[in-house]
C-alpha cells in the first residue's frame, strides 16, 4: 500500500518504513511501553505510553535523522550536513552524523536552553548560535548550506525523515497489537505522518489522533483550506511542536491518514506534564505530554486500548520548574489569598494554627503592618499555600471564614 506525497518524491510506502526499521537496528532503541492506571481509569480502557522520551538523545528525532543521513551519497557525506533546531532535531542530527562519520553543523537560536546546546556539542556537532527565533536560525542554516554545499537536513519534511519516524508506528503495533487509538503530538507532522502510514497500512481500523498546542495549531486551518496555511504567530511552551506551517510532504499524509487533529491549552499541557511526573515517574517535555493533555481534556472521547506517544523528554530545568508550578496551579494545588487580621501579639500564630488544622502547607507568607490602606489596629497577610486539590482549597477557605477571617482574594 502506498500513500501520496507531493513534489518530486515517490510515494511513501510501508516497505520504506520497514527498510528504515532494519537500518535503525542497533542504532535506535525499541522504546518501552508503560501502562497508566490513572489514565486507564479515566478513559475506561487500557492506556499505554510509548516512551520515546527514553530514546537515545531523549526523543524520536534520532530515527529520522539517521535514516536521512544514511541515504546520502559519498559525495554528499563528504560535504557534511547542516540543520537548524532549538533542541531535539539538533541532538538527533548530531548523534546520527557522529555514528555515520559525517561532519555536522547545527544552528541554534541564541536563546536556546544551555543543556540542549551542550548536549548537541557533546554528540559531536559544531554548534552555531544565530537568530532570536527559529525562523531566523533556519534561514541561517539554509544560507550556510548554499554557501558550503552541506546537505540541509530538514526536521520533518523529507521522505527519509518520515520513514524513520514511522518506525515508531511499527513498534506500537508489535508491542500493543490490540491497540484501537494512537494519540501523537503534531508540529510539522513528520512523526504523525510516519506513524499514520505504518499503522493504516497494517491496521486501517486503528484511529490515529494528532494533537497540537492551541497557540501553534497550524493543521486545523490548513485542513479546512485543503493546503498548508502558515500562522501569523505561534506561542506555546511546547517548543517541540511549535511549528507555524505544516510541511508540503507531511500535510497530504496527515490529511489522508490522520483521523482527527485536536488542540490543547497551556494549562492542559502543564497538568499533563505534572501527571507524567507524579503518576508515571516520567520526565516528559511539554510537546511529549500533548497526547496526555488530550486524554485528560476529554477522557471519554477515545476508543481503547489507547497508545499515547511520549515523543520527547528534553526539557530545560528552568522551564520544568515554571511548568510544574503552572501545572500545580491548573490542578488546583496552589491557593493564593489575602486577608486582614487584628494587629496584636499572637494574631499571626493563630492564623497559622488555623491553616495547620486545615492541613494546608504554607509556601510563602507576607505580613504587612504599615500601609496607608490599613487601619490603626490592622495588618494584612498574603498567603501562598499548597493544597491537595480544588476541594481542599474550598475546605481551607471555609476554615478561615469559620475562624472569623475575611478573605480579600
How far is Cα 71 from Cα 69, in angstroms, rounded to an integer? 5
Choosing from 40, 70, 290, 311, the catalytic residue is 311
Residue 61 appears among annotated catalytic residues: yes
**DSSP per-residue letters across 234-279:** ---S-GGG--SS--TTHHHHHHHH--EEEEE-HHHHHHHHHHHHHH
Here the cell at position 104 is: 555536522
Choosing from 50, 61, 200, 207, the catalytic residue is 61
How far is Cα 93 from Cα 79, in angstroms, rounded to an integer? 15
How wide is the angle at C-alpha 154 spanned by C-alphas 255 and 21, nearest 5°? 75
Cβ-contact 216, 242 below 8 angstroms: yes
**DSSP per-residue letters across 364-377:** EEEEE---TTS-TT
Residue 311 appears among annotated catalytic residues: yes
Helices (H), 341-389: 347-357
Strands 334-342 and 406-407: antiparallel
Count of other CB atoms within 10 angstroms of residue 403: 15
Catalytic residues: 61, 311
Amino acid at each position: 500500500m502506498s500513500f501520496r506525497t507531493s513534489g518530486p518524491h515517490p510515494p511513501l510506502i510501508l516497505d520504506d518504513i520497514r527498510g528504515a526499521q532494519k537500518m535503525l537496528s542497533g542504532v535506535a532503541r525499541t522504546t518501552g511501553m508503560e501502562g497508566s492506571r490513572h489514565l486507564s481509569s479515566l478513559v475506561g480502557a487500557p492506556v499505554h505510553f510509548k516512551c520515546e522520551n527514553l530514546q537515545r538523545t531523549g526523543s524520536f528525532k534520532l530515527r529520522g535523522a539517521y535514516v536521512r543521513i544514511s541515504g546520502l551519497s559519498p559525495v554528499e557525506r563528504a560535504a557534511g550536513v547542516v540543520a537548524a533546531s532549538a533542541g531535539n532535531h539538533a541532538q538527533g542530527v548530531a548523534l546520527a552524523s557522529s555514528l555515520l562519520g559525517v561532519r555536522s553543523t547545527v544552528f541554534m537560536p541564541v536563546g536556546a536552553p544551555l543543556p540542549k546546546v551542550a548536549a548537541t556539542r557533546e554528540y559531536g556537532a559544531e554548534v552555531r548560535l544565530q537568530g532570536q527565533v527559529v525562523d531566523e536560525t533556519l534561514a541561517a542554516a539554509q544560507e550556510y548550506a548554499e554557501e558550503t554545499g552541506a546537505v540541509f537536513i530538514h526536521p520533518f519534511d523529507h521522505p527519509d525523515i518520515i520513514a524513520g519516524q514511522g518506525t515508531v508506528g511499527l513498534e506500537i503495533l508489535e508491542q500493543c497489537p490490540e491497540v484501537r487509538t494512537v494519540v501523537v503530538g503534531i508540529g510539522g507532522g513528520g512523526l504523525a505522518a510516519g506513524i499514520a502510514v505504518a499503522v493504516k497500512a497494517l491496521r486501517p481500523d486503528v484511529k490515529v489522533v494528532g494533537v497540537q498546542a492551541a497557540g501553534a495549531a497550524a493543521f486545523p486551518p490548513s485542513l479546512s483550506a485543503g493546503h498548508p496555511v502558515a500562522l501569523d504567530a505561534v506561542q506555546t511552551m511546547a517548543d517541540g511542536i511549535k511549528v507555524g506551517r505544516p510541511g508540503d510532504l507531511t500535510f497530504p499524509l496527515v490529511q489522508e491518514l490522520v483521523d482527527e487533529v485536536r488542540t490543547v491549552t497551556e494549562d492542559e499541557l502543564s497538568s499533563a506534564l505534572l501527571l507524567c511526573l507524579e503518576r508515571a515517574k516520567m520526565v516528559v517535555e511539554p510537546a511529549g505530554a500533548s497526547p496526555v493533555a488530550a486524554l485528560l481534556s476529554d477522557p471519554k472521547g477515545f476508543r481503547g486500548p489507547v497508545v499515547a506517544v511520549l515523543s520527547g523528554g528534553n526539557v530545560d530545568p528552568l522551564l520544568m520548574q515554571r511548568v510544574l508550578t503552572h501545572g500545580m496551579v491548573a490542578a488546583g494545588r496552589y491557593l493564593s489569598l489575602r486577608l486582614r487580621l487584628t494587629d496584636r501579639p499572637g494574631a499571626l500564630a493563630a492564623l497559622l494554627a488555623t491553616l495547620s488544622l486545615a492541613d494546608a502547607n504554607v509556601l510563602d507568607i507576607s505580613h504587612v503592618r504599615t500601609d496607608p490602606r490599613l487601619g490603626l489596629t490592622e495588618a494584612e497577610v498574603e498567603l501562598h499555600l499548597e493544597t491537595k486539590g480544588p476541594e481542599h482549597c474550598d475546605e481551607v477557605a471555609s476554615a478561615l471564614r469559620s475562624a472569623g477571617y475575611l478573605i480579600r482574594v
